[in-house]
């Protein structure tokens, strides 16, 4: 940051004091605002709806999703009895039964009670065992507050206990992987100079068993202003190798292969995504890439033999090429095939690619229209199940179902989620709004089948529009109970709308890049166009239209508040970015410059300020009713921007603005089901009452 920028920001911002997250005065302000909001919203009816949402989140009939490691299927589970959760495993025959018998591995509630820390589960990293041996060691990852900073602790799957004197990496924003049975590749906070400007590890060291972090040998490092350093060990038998990734920002990176005692750059465009699988190198360019006289389109998927590529060959096989309606979302390798998960106008399509047939692709007939279906390998290294795959199918009105299939065979249902509301009462439609530059923008509408198109329906519009993240159809008992089933005095059900605006990934990298930096306004124009289309079609009216978004979606609805206030009757803005002058000062904010631009460069601040809601507030505008909510322990965005926005609105004399800050919960806003139920219930309650005139 330049001196002049800091001086200007400090001088012009009377609410800078709220950036002291844990200061006594600041938390006193938070508690006072929380009390005002809870007094307004928390009623016996609210508490009943909160319990109804918690019932969904705590339901023991949910699908226990599993990951296969060796002979066992592992699952992490939360419910009313296990607030912080249990980690457990079972066999396939047991899992496929109606009542699986689970072996308890770790009770996080009991661990928290015994250690005096409210641990939040963040995952487990398995060490590959010796050939023929069972899995014995994992690194259990736990957060003390639900934030991004985590502790890694070695756990023994035989003794079902943490390893005495085993690996134990203190809480930090770490990136860690196994280097072998007796060593780790550790990227963590080693002290001054070891973290990037984005608050992630800048160096990776080799930590031997019994070794000391401070004296561990450095293995890889990146520049201070890059985002993150990472080293991974590929332990696939016959293809053992180390890969290092220098993540420059969200969309550019350099990947290196360890060779002859040094790091060899894999020479692909820095904005390409790559992966390796056995002998194959897989590349997905984000922009058009011309090499060896051939241009490969943005969003395509290319495959080549890695050894040949390193020798200079650039004869790629194109296993997927996008078109105007179809994009690649993800891919997964089974033992002998490549699974491609695609979106065609935001409905799923799955292709199975066979390298043995010159990479021929076949459609998997498992994707009904206006649904989301994801396919991924069960365990590509299992001798018997190497070509098995999972399918997870869901829709707005279709409870999720988990299938298991074998390539070349059929697939069968294994588990299904229960119904949480009367889905038969509603219908799903896809519509397209026309944005201000003529672009057709899709959105999904979920509404009662007897919907009257007279503008009289309370409608909730949700969106995100950033970081190439796609919003796809998904069943939600929370939305069903929290919004769709609510009824006005004249018998109208809530209408829910999901927007697929630019900045997202629904149509691949071009859809995303269309709303980057100085073009950010396109995402907001798309969202506003959908709002206008809902009114024009008679679904709702501005007074009955609310919108909601979290994180980058919070920035989205913050711009609806400040630039399009006439389109909405109420806005729920969660864990948001709002002060784009200072967003790079957030813990991870520096890494988002690739998305938004750098406010410390005058030429970029010229456009960044045009979508900075904190700076767009005016005292001569009538704003819709607004709830701004966040979490104290969010160490990704943090609570300070939400605090400052609410404080500034109140200082300007804006009426009908509420603020709420959960004192725990991380960037998700909740670290357990109880907190999540309160968060959802509060947002829905505010929006419903604000739109229907009871607030």
Cα 555 from Cα 360, distance rounded (Å): 43
Catalytic status, residue 551: yes
Query: Which DSSP category does 392 fall into?
Result: E
Distances in Å between the Cα of 70 and the Cα atoms of 151, 229, 381 are 25, 30, 9
The continuous run of DSSP H or E covering 45 comes out as helix 44-58
Largest CA distance in the chain: 75
Strand partners, 246: 229, 254
Q: Report yes or no: 405 and 391 within 8 Å, Cβ to Cβ.
A: yes
Helix, strand or coil for residue 101? coil
Cα 484 from Cα 487, distance rounded (Å): 8
Cα 689 from Cα 394, distance rounded (Å): 30
Q: How many CB atoms lie within 10 A of CB 35?
A: 11
Q: Which residue do the tokens 């002049």 mark? A: 4
Catalytic status, residue 667: yes
Q: How many CB atoms lie within 10 A of CB 233?
A: 19
Catalytic: which of 226, 493, 512, 667?
667
Catalytic: which of 199, 332, 435, 551?
551
Q: 98-104: list long-range contacts, CB under 8 Å, 24+ apart.
A: 100/64, 102/75, 104/160
Burial of residue 611 (number of CB atoms within 10 Å: 0-12, 13-18, 19+): buried
* Alpha-helix residue ranges (DSSP H) falling in 430-551: 477-479, 509-513, 521-536
Q: Report yes or no: 333 and 377 within 8 Å, Cβ to Cβ.
A: yes
Cα 684 from Cα 548, distance rounded (Å): 10
List strands edge to edge, sheet with 495-499: 426-434, 440-448, 495-499, 459-462, 545-550, 570-574, 625-631, 657-662
Structure tokens at 90: 């079972």
Cα 306 from Cα 264, distance rounded (Å): 13
- Alpha carbon dihedral 113, 118, 123, 127, in 10-degree steps, equals -50
Enumerate the active-site residues.
551, 667
């Amino acid at each position: 940051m330049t001196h002049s920028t800091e001086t200007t920001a400090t001088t012009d911002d009377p609410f800078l004091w709220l950036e002291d997250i844990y200061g006594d005065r600041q938390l006193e302000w938070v508690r006072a605002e929380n009390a005002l909001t809870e007094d307004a919203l928390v009623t016996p009816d609210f508490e009943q709806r909160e319990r109804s949402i918690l019932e969904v989140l705590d339901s023991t009939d949910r699908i226990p999703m599993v990951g296969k490691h060796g002979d066992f299927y592992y699952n992490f589970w939360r419910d009313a009895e296990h607030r912080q959760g249990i980690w457990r495993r079972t066999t396939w025959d047991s899992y496929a039964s109606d009542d699986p018998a689970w072996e308890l591995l770790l009770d996080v509630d009991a661990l928290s009670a015994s250690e005096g820390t409210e641990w939040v589960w963040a995952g487990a990293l398995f060490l590959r065992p010796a050939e023929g041996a069972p899995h014995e060691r994992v690194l259990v990852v736990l957060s003390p507050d639900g934030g991004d900073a985590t502790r890694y602790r070695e756990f023994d799957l035989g003794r079902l206990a943490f390893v005495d004197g085993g690996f134990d990496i203190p809480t930090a924003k770490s990136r860690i992987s196994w280097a072998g049975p007796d060593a780790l590749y550790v990227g963590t906070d080693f002290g001054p100079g070891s973290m990037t400007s984005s608050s992630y590890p800048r160096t990776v060291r080799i930590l031997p068993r019994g070794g000391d972090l401070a004296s561990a040998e450095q293995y890889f490092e990146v520049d201070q202003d890059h985002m993150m350093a990472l080293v991974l060990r590929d332990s696939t038998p016959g293809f053992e190798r180390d890969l290092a990734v220098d993540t420059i920002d969200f969309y550019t990176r350099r990947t290196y292969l360890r060779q002859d005692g040094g790091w060899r750059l894999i020479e692909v465009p820095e904005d390409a995504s790559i992966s390796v699988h056995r002998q194959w190198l897989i590349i997905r360019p984000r922009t058009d890439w011309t090499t060896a006289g051939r241009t490969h389109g943005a969003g395509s998927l290319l495959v080549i033999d890695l050894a040949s590529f390193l020798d200079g060959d650039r004869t790629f096989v194109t296993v997927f090429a996008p078109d105007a309606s179809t994009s690649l979302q993800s891919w997964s390798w089974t033992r002998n095939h490549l699974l491609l998960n695609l979106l065609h106008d935001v409905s799923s399509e799955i292709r199975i690619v066979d390298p043995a047939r010159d990479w021929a692709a076949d459609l998997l007939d498992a994707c009904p229209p206006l649904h989301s279906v994801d396919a991924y390998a069960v365990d590509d290294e299992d001798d018997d199940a190497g070509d098995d795959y999972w399918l997870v199918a869901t829709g707005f009105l279709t409870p999720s179902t988990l299938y298991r299939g074998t390539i070349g065979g059929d697939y069968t249902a294994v588990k299904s989620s229960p119904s949480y509301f009367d889905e038969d009462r509603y219908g799903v439609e896809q519509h397209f709004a026309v944005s201000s530059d003529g672009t057709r923008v899709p959105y999904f509408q979920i509404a009662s089948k007897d919907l009257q198109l007279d503008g009289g329906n309370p409608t909730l519009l949700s969106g995100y529009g950033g970081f190439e993240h796609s919003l796809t159809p998904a069943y939600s008992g929370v939305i069903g109970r929290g919004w769709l089933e609510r009824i006005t005095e004249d018998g109208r059900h809530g209408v829910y709308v999901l927007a697929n605006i630019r900045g997202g990934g629904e149509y691949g990298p071009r859809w995303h890049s269309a709303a980057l930096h100085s073009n950010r306004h396109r995402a907001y124009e798309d969202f506003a166009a959908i709002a206008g289309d809902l009114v024009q079609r008679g679904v709702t009216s501005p007074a009955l239209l609310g919108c909601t978004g979290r994180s980058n979606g919070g920035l989205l609805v913050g711009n609806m508040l400040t630039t399009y206030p006439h389109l909405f009757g109420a806005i729920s803005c969660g864990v948001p970015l709002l002060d784009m002058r200072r967003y790079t000062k957030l813990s991870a904010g520096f890494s988002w410059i690739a998305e938004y631009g750098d406010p410390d460069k005058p030429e970029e601040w010229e456009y960044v300020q045009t979508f900075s809601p904190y700076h767009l507030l005016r005292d001569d505008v009538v704003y819709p009713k607004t709830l701004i909510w966040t979490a104290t322990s969010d160490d990704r965005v943090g609570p300070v921007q939400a605090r400052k926005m609410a404080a500034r609105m109140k200082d300007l004399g804006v009426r009908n603005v509420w603020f709420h800050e959960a004192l725990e919960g991380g960037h998700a806003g909740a670290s357990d089901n109880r907190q999540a139920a309160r968060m959802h219930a509060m947002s829905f309650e505010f929006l419903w009452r604000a739109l229907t005139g009871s607030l």
